[in-house]
């Protein structure tokens, strides 16, 4: 399996017989140029397009136009995208929390989020993968009240407990590390790898502060996770 970091929370996962794109926002070298447009959309094999929720930095309506370029695309979206009229009933398969999708290639289960939409647990080619979407311990420590921080913590731990009660091991986790949260921006990620055995942890949602995410590497190593510290859009690893 080849994993390519596209931008922000967007990734491409390539297998021998199909590929998956998750939370496309823009391409590796701009809005309509780069690894997706110049390579992935031109591959003959099936392409799955997943979107965890309707926020503009996770769902770009342009992806619905790709079916004009490629006839073997399967769209799998969080149901809030349909509810907010960002896509039509027949445009995609829609999943709510705890709903599933399966075919001969992949199995997907939607879990919750601490914002809108869902997170995705994906089983593909004997790999167990997780894309968190906007599931995170989102509290702005320097700005929030103590009550708001406790509420955010409680909400996150509820969702994390649900995930970790079902999932004990992941080959790969894609999870937010957003330095805009302030001094405790890594807390949700550390809680995640404390609860679930993660072989490879890859950060996302850091695009405005890529220089700060290296701080998580010693935490990942402490929990026996390999950490991928992206430096540029379009970087890839093979798993």
Q: Where are the domains of the chain?
A: 2-238
pTM of the model: 0.96
Express each pLDDT in 131-154 by its tens digit: 999 999 987 666 778 888 888 899
- Closest to 133 (Cα-Cα) out of 189, 193, 176: 176
Cβ–Cβ under 8 Å, residues 106 and 147: no
In sequence order, what are the beta bridge partners of 75? 49
pLDDT (mean) for 106-133? 97
pLDDT at residue number 142: 67
pLDDT (mean) for 221-229? 96
pLDDT (mean) for 17-38? 94
CATH number of 2-238: 3.60.15.10
pLDDT at residue number 83: 98
- Angle, vertex CA 194, rays to CA 189 and CA 200, nearest 5: 65
Can you tell me whether residue 116 is helix, strand or coil?
Answer: coil
What span, in angstroms and rounded, lies between the C-alpha atoms of 94 and 195? 28
């Amino acid at each position: 399996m080849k994993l390519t970091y596209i931008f922000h929370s967007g990734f491409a996962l390539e297998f021998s017989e199909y590929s998956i794109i998750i939370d496309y926002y823009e391409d590796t070298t701009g809005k309509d140029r780069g690894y997706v447009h110049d390579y992935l959309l031109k591959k003959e094999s099936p392409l799955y397009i997943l979107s965890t929720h309707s926020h503009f930095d996770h769902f770009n309506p342009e992806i619905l136009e790709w079916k004009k370029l490629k006839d073997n695309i399967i769209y799998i979206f969080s149901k809030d995208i349909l509810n907010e009229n960002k896509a039509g009933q027949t445009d995609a398969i829609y999943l709510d929390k705890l709903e599933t999708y399966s075919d001969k290639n992949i199995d997907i289960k939607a879990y919750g989020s601490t914002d809108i939409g869902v997170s995705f647990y994906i089983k593909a080619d004997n790999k167990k993968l997780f894309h968190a979407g906007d599931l995170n311990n989102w509290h702005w420590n320097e700005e929030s009240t103590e009550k708001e921080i406790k509420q955010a913590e409680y909400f996150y731990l509820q969702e994390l407990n649900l995930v970790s009660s079902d999932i004990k091991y992941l080959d790969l986790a894609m999870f937010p590390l957003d330095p805009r949260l302030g001094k405790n921006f890594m807390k949700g990620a550390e809680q995640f790898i404390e609860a679930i055995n993660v072989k490879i942890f890859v950060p996302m949602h850091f695009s405005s502060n890529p220089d700060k995410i290296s701080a998580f590497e010693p935490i990942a190593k402490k929990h026996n996770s390999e950490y991928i510290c992206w430096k540029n859009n379009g970087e890839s690893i093979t798993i």
